[in-house]
Amino acid sequence: MLAQAVAKELTTNGVEFVATDSSLDIAEAPSVDAYVADARITHIINCAAYTRVDEAEREEELAMRVNCIGPGNLGRAAQVHGAHIVHFSTDYVFDGSARAPYAEDALCKPATAYGRSKWRGEQRLWGTRDSISRGRAVQIVRTSWLFGEGGKNFVSTMLGLMATQEELRVVADQVGRPTYTRDLAAASLTLLGLGAKREPAESGIFHFANSNATSWHAFATRIVELGRELGFDLCTRRIAPIASSEFPGLARRPAYSVLDTRKIERALSQAPRSWDAALRAYLSGLPKT
């Protein structure tokens, strides 16, 4: 889902690129190094991730392979060949116990296997940065609650349920900031020097999400409201708020994972639009049937 948004943004910006899928195993260091060398890569954008949060509790080794070993290999290849690199991470590196938005330097204390794999991936990648004098950017962008074209996400799932069910039950005690993949892609490419600005920002960890915090329940309520306004045939009449304990999973979701985005706003001289505006843009582009 995110990779498709990045590819579209690169095309819009007139940037030539090559994309890989299962053709390249990022957990295999020799393959990564050879690919970066042969293709003469100047910028690496890592959208690969193991994101099945509950399954990661049973498959932590696989999650570590993709989310930790892979970014480390990409970072080392970028270092050897002098390439810039941006990698995407997650709000799950935090345990969700905060009561104010998480800044980039907040204590990481992941409470899930998925979160641990992403945090360790950050550490491996960050360890490949070199001196400022070389001018090579190593950037980590943490994000949250992704939705967008080309992949299953909360919004598409809700629309499917709303088309057939009169009542839904949605968790109301988890709070975060939804993120539209197109907005994340545009911000990250600008940060890397491939967007509106043609010089990369400094190396560092950045947070990006659309503006304003909300709960999953409030998010779902707005989806049905906007969906009806935009012409979707939805039959849901009531969305009942429930506690996380009523919807148990193998992995404990963060109760509060609101990201503070002021650092990336300063770097880009622009604040992200609201998730409500981003949601409207996403829904407007979807087929109504």
Catalytic residues: 114
Query: Which of 136, 106, 130, 131 has its CA nearest to residue 119?
Result: 106
What are the tokens at 277? 């505006």
CB 88 within 8 A of CB 48: no
Compute the chain's Rg from CA coordinates: 19
CB 173 within 8 A of CB 108: no
Strands 175-176 and 214-215 come out as antiparallel
CB 9 within 8 A of CB 185: yes
SS3 87: strand
Region at 79 (left for phi over 0; alpha for psi -120 to 50; beta for the rest): alpha
- Length of the chain equals 289
Q: 242 φ, ψ to 5°?
A: -130, 165
CB 130 within 8 A of CB 79: yes
What are the tokens at 195? 């967007």
